[in-house]
Structure 1
Amino acid sequence: MPPASSKPVKAPAEPLGTPSRRAALRLLDAVLRRGEPLEQALVAATRHVYGPDRGLAHAIAAEVLRRLPDLDALIDSVTERPLPGDAKARMALRIALVQALVLGTPHHAAIATVLPLVDGGPRKLVHGVFGAIVRSGVLLPEVPALPPAVETRWEAAWGAEMVEGAAQAIAAPPPLDLTLADPAETERWVGELGGVSLMPGHVRLVDAAPVTELPGFADGRWWVQDIAASIPARLLAAGGGGMAIDLCAAPGGKTLQLAAAGYAVAAVDVSNARIKRLRENLFRTRLKAQVIAADVLAWAPPAPADALLVDAPCSATGIFRRHPDVLHRVHPAIIAEMAELQARILARAADWVVPGGRLVFATCSLEPQEGEAQLSRFLADRPDYAIDPPEPALLPPGVPVHADGYVRTAPGMLADAGGCDGFFVARLRRTA
């Protein structure tokens, strides 16, 4: 009998592409189990994948989050007993199905690259469920279902039409919006970039090349900013000049708008990582602002300003089109916590505006607690402030001024032109 070999037995090689699927699994686990923002989890989750594989992991996770209720409905339709929500088998099936049904990955590659994710687990179950679904020829619905808790909350606040608009909006990633440093160059950049413009100073692109490869990026002629996100600073830029304070400013789109409009801007943010991006954006666009790393609840300016922009921390449910993880992470306790923080910031910052000056309060939220209710609370506490309704010409066509003088963008607005993020924006004037 020959002696046993002393050489170690090599584990079989995993299918090409498995590491990116493992990274997608880590991303989904970070969002769905630990409640982390998708972008925040990206660095750690993709530390062992590079280049296109990192982008693929992000794309897979984002599409799973866009389609999660519908993917789970498919899985549950062919299993005798529902798999636990956090079961690795369910996660692997979500990843395989979104590749096959949304991203166009060949079926054999979609399943082969996720089976290693359940090594030591129910591989036969995963393979069988996937096979049963794809053989049936079933497709995901054209209009995705929102998570039930989100649908219930938004329908109570805004009605069924808004919920339908939100479901339509999440079906695909949104177009790319750019804000121009010089609105007078709108026609030039529409032509050079091959986009469309919804108002002066704005260009919208569909299926654009990577941002850094687009004409005008290196020269700082524009920056990425959803058209709804540009509204808060537009309402101050109309009276450009003097001193402006931009609170919670990074990564800096609104700071750039105010600086381009002629304000001397003090940009305040507590996050060093986000401040780094703000400085990079200022350098690239050759615009100037005083950058201050500070907690706005501890910092105070040396003197009141002519204009104050409070783009307050919030639940960020208004940017669900590009960050679908918010639909699964945010719940009423987080919304209430953010609303209290906003109230504290507004109460402290309201004294930093000169009499006759303007304050703009904004949140990228679709929650009334972080918008309409917050405004009512502030005005009840500060009789020295009054709503200053914006001129319709400052808003994109199709975005109205509410009867009470503020602006609310919501799913369904500008739908024929590619939609917009959900924002609440109120411009106030200090009367005394």
Structure 2
Amino acid sequence: MDIPGLPARRAALNLIDAVLRRGETLDQAAGAALARVRGDADRALARAIAGEVLRWKVDLDVLIDSATRQRLPDDAKPRAVLELMLAQVLRLETPAHAVIATGLPLLAGGPRRLAHGVFSTLLKGEVALPGVPTLPDAVHARWGVRADAIAAGLAVPPPLDLALRDPAQTGDWAQKLGGISLMPGHVRLPRGTAVEKLEGFREGAWWVQDLAASLPARLLGSGEGRRVLDLCAAPGGKTLQLAAAGWEVTALDISKRRLERLRENLQRTGLSAEVVQADALAWEPLLPFDAVLLDAPCTATGTCRRHPDVLHRIGPRQIGEMVDLQAALIARASDWLKSGGTLVYAVCSLEPEEGEAQARKVTLQPVPVSPAELPEGLQVTAEGWLRTDPGMLADAGGLDGFFVARWQA
């Protein structure tokens, strides 16, 4: 007999397993894990359950260990099922009877009685999660003095940020959509908003883009018909920004699938750019550019608010691989600038090896970022670089972690 809601819970369990055991991202794992889940609501539920387990895994495990005489192995299926069940009760406010009905069947042929006993013991004890997620030890060590503040920014998934095609209409769109604005060209809405149903979507008046992710392109200013290369451009938010700011944009990326999404957004917004599918390490431009925006491939640990899988699958090996690629891309991007041209380098990573350490090796003339170019409340470093993290602008809903620096050839 089919149990309503069980496919979504099974999919959530498969998502978690793909992240923890195979090192996949939630997005990579979604295709296979959600294949048998019917309906958008159940697919969204599976993603939400998996996300909350990964966000709070350290604290969920502490609760589980407090109720077992013998510690369950880290990779034991009962531990994963209990994490899933507790996340639903403590984070998604799912009724306990529904959690039990859809959780215990995941242990068919296994220790259901153990899982039921641990779950019931914890609920009777009226357990609760802390106000702030506990980071894995290795992650806390890497993020250093900012780790606790960053963790505080992970307590809830982020709001929805929109970048406007016409910044002059910021006030109008904030009022129409019932949002707030933290700087011209930006509107912030509560999370859970159905994007396609919002006013302005079909006519391309805006696109979804985290506030921090919009800052690198802003640092190039108005294009006035000059040529810019958006290197590693897909899925296209920065390409749209640059085109809207009057740049003649060449958008290059290696991914055919992601470039299709970029083309769709260009068509929806009525903006234009030359789209090139190529490997940036092999491609050569015919002419140099007035500016290059390099939003480099990275570990993406700065997106941990919306992608909590990065808390568990990123380590020294992945960081090292990205550092080598980033250095190669910086060298190529620097060679493609006109004399006096501008390079902006950005990564959505919280790892200093991918940000500050890379910037120290660039031999171009630094162009410090000014606080006047940023949302109120953000500061620049002593070197004139920008470093954001999820602990910043917390009262306004926070933002992703980014490193951004700028130079002139």
TM-score normalised over the length of structure 2? 0.98
How many Å separate the matches in 2 of 1:414 and 1:71?
Answer: 27
Secondary structure of 1:236's match? coil
What are the superposed Cα offsets for residues 316-367 of structure 1, whole Å, 9 maximum, x if unpaired?
0111001111011100111111011100111122110100010000000111
131, 137, 140: which is aligned to 1:142? 131
1:264 paired with 2:248, answer yes
- The answer on whether the counterparts of 2:301 and 2:351 sit within 8 Å (CA) in structure 1 is yes
* 1:303-382 paired onto structure 2 within 5 Å: 303-379=287-363
> Shift in Å at residue 74 of structure 1?
0.5
> Shift in Å at residue 81 of structure 1?
1.4
- The answer on whether the counterparts of 1:74 and 1:133 sit within 8 Å (CA) in structure 2 is yes
1:251 paired with 2:239, answer no
Residue number in structure 2 paired with 1:29: 17
What are the superposed Cα offsets for residues 108-161 of structure 1, whole Å, 9 maximum, x if unpaired?
110120111111111111111111111111111111111111011111xxx1xx
* 1:191-202 paired onto structure 2 within 5 Å: 191-202=175-186
1:68 paired with 2:47, answer no
> Shift in Å at residue 392 of structure 1?
2.5
How many Å separate the matches in 2 of 1:261 and 1:238?
Answer: 5
Residue number in structure 2 paired with 1:424: 403
> Shift in Å at residue 238 of structure 1?
3.8
Residue number in structure 2 paired with 1:382: none
Matched to 1:39, the amino acid is D
How many Å separate the matches in 2 of 1:131 and 1:194?
Answer: 42
* 1:15-54 paired onto structure 2 within 5 Å: 15-50=3-38, 51-54=40-43
Report percent identity of matched pairs: 59
Residue number in structure 1 paired with 2:85: 96
Residue number in structure 2 paired with 1:117: 106
TM-score normalised over the length of structure 1? 0.93
How many Å separate the matches in 1 of 2:120 and 2:77?
Answer: 17
Residue number in structure 1 paired with 2:261: 277
> Shift in Å at residue 198 of structure 1?
0.6
Secondary structure of 2:212's match? coil
Matched to 1:137, the amino acid is E
1:172 paired with 2:160, answer no
Secondary structure of 1:199's match? coil
- The answer on whether the counterparts of 1:14 and 1:116 sit within 8 Å (CA) in structure 2 is no
Matched to 2:151, the amino acid is A
What are the superposed Cα offsets for residues 369-404 of structure 1, whole Å, 9 maximum, x if unpaired?
00010011223xxxxx11111332221111112221
What are the superposed Cα offsets for residues 15-51 of structure 1, whole Å, 9 maximum, x if unpaired?
2111100000110011010000111211111000122
Residue number in structure 1 paired with 2:117: 128
> Shift in Å at residue 410 of structure 1?
2.0
What are the superposed Cα offsets for residues 90-118 of structure 1, whole Å, 9 maximum, x if unpaired?
11111111111111111011012011111
How many Å separate the matches in 2 of 1:242 and 1:199?
Answer: 25
189, 195, 199: which is aligned to 2:173? 189
- The answer on whether the counterparts of 2:294 and 2:344 sit within 8 Å (CA) in structure 1 is yes
What are the superposed Cα offsets for residues 174-203 of structure 1, whole Å, 9 maximum, x if unpaired?
111111000000010010000111111011
> Shift in Å at residue 240 of structure 1?
4.5
Secondary structure of 2:404's match? strand
Matched to 1:67, the amino acid is W
What are the superposed Cα offsets for residues 271-311 of structure 1, whole Å, 9 maximum, x if unpaired?
11111111111111110001111110011111100010000
Matched to 2:227, the amino acid is M
Indicate the RMSD between aligned Cα atoms, in angstroms: 1.0
Residue number in structure 2 paired with 1:387: 366
Secondary structure of 1:229's match? helix
Q: Judging changes above 3 Å, is the alpha-carbon distance between structure 1 residues 361 and 207 closer, same or farther for their aligned structure 2 residues?
A: closer
How many Å separate the matches in 2 of 1:388 and 1:395?
Answer: 15
> Shift in Å at residue 80 of structure 1?
1.3
1:225 paired with 2:235, answer no
- The answer on whether the counterparts of 1:237 and 1:257 sit within 8 Å (CA) in structure 2 is no
- The answer on whether the counterparts of 2:132 and 2:151 sit within 8 Å (CA) in structure 1 is yes
- Counting matched residue pairs gives 408
1:81 paired with 2:70, answer yes
> Shift in Å at residue 239 of structure 1?
4.9
Residue number in structure 1 paired with 2:376: 397
How many Å separate the matches in 2 of 1:340 and 1:315?
Answer: 12
Q: Mean alpha-carbon deviation: is it higher for 236-245 or for 42-51?
A: 236-245
Residue number in structure 2 paired with 1:106: 95
1:406 paired with 2:395, answer no
Consecutive unaligned residues of structure 1, counting only runs of 5 or more, are 1-12, 380-384
How many Å separate the matches in 1 of 2:130 and 2:384?
Answer: 38
Residue number in structure 2 paired with 1:5: none
Residue number in structure 2 paired with 1:9: none
Consecutive unaligned residues of structure 2, counting only runs of 5 or more, are none
How many Å separate the matches in 2 of 1:416 and 1:332?
Answer: 32
How many Å separate the matches in 1 of 2:370 and 2:21?
Answer: 45
- The answer on whether the counterparts of 1:99 and 1:110 sit within 8 Å (CA) in structure 2 is yes
Matched to 2:177, the amino acid is L
